[in-house]
Amino acid sequence: MKIKEIKVKDLEPEKFVKEKIEEISAIVGSDSAINALSGGVDSSTVTMLGHKALGDRLKTYFIDSGLMREDEPERVVSLFEKVGVKVEVVDAQKQFFDALKSITDPEEKREAITQTFYRDVFGKLVRKNGAKFLLQGTILTDVDETVAGIKRQHNILEQLGVDPEKEFGYKIIEPLVQLRKDGVREVAKALGLPALAYNKAPFPGPALAARVIGEVTPERIAVVRKATAIVEEELSDSGAFQCMAILHEDRVTGMRGGKREYGMQIEIRSWESKDARTATPTRLSYDILERLSERITGEVTGVVSVTYNITKKPPSTMEAV
């Protein structure tokens, strides 16, 4: 079924919020729902909509996959505490790393994350809760790119012909599926979320696994996590749509302390974009690039090479996996 897009210029955020709250209440009825909050603008918006519609009948979880950025679980829980929403953290790190073991193919990685997320972790939570519905922050760009076969977004099931009720035992509600990122930000603002939440740069569902080329292990995630923290800190005032660090699979010869070091490579990407459909690299100054290189090679053990991506999307995509 074709989804009817609501462009940001046609969006009336207050009206949209009111309609979606009514819609969620009507669909869920007297049952209960659960949702997973990652802290991104999409899942944050869905969490607020859901809580306004269902109150305590919506249970919100933060799934700690071990693939998140530095201090992310704590930050997300405390932000939502401030707006009166209780979030429960579920430690699922072992399940995700076990599922990702030995996988190098990008789509297989996404599939492993999807299966672990929906079947192993969420399936169990749903059964424990007796919830019949799962609220999800899928947006139109996720659908477009998945249907076009560019990348399988981990939160797309129905559009791919997968019946979540049959496969995982629950129904999915996607209140944001007619919007793109700019529209979601307007809705988040209308819901009273703080600027920290509605201005947040996008972050992919597969989290840092989308930024590790080759096998995803706790050690390799730790490398990309540290590099990500440096990139985000240094570029926080750049106004970029999104910035990231990517860990490459192949190693290169470097030298440190007069010794040869066959080390890792980090690629930095910083994007200017409106809606993530197309993007151009930020024209970062050489001073900033040099500082990034010095900090990453100095602070992230084992990294001997730092590069900056200068390719537009398309033909690049924003994430590397």
**Which residues of the shown chain bind ligand XMP in the complex (CB under 6 A)?**
142, 145, 151, 153-155, 202, 204-206, 210, 242, 276, 313, 317-319
Tell me whether residue 189 or residue 312 sits nearer to ligand XMP (CB atom).
312
- Closest distance to ligand XMP from the beta carbon of 8 (Å): 16
- Alpha carbon distance 129, 64 (integer Å): 19
**Helix, coil or strand: residue 267:** strand
Tell me whether residue 6 or residue 246 sits nearer to ligand XMP (CB atom).
246
- Closest distance to ligand XMP from the beta carbon of 37 (Å): 13
Q: Residue 286 half-sphere exposure, CB side, CA atoms within 13 Å?
A: 0
Place of tokens 């919100």: 60
Tell me whether residue 65 or residue 297 sits nearer to ligand XMP (CB atom).
65
- Alpha carbon distance 313, 278 (integer Å): 5
- Closest distance to ligand XMP from the beta carbon of 142 (Å): 6
- Closest distance to ligand XMP from the beta carbon of 234 (Å): 19
Tell me whether residue 51 or residue 154 sits nearer to ligand XMP (CB atom).
154
Q: What are phi and psi of 171, to 5 degrees?
A: -100, 145
- Show the tokens assigned to 309: 């991506």
- Show the tokens assigned to 248: 């490459």
CA nearest neighbour of 136 among 110, 118, 161: 118
Tell me whether residue 33 or residue 140 sits nearer to ligand XMP (CB atom).
140
- Alpha carbon distance 272, 278 (integer Å): 9
Q: Which residues of 72-107 are buried (b: 16+ CB within 10 A; e: fewer)?
A: bbeebbebbeeeebebeebebbebbbebbeebeebe
Tell me whether residue 143 or residue 304 sits nearer to ligand XMP (CB atom).
143
- Closest distance to ligand XMP from the beta carbon of 38 (Å): 8
Q: Which DSSP helix (H) or strand (E) runs through 96? A: helix 93-100
- Closest distance to ligand XMP from the beta carbon of 135 (Å): 15
Tell me whether residue 175 or residue 206 sits nearer to ligand XMP (CB atom).
206
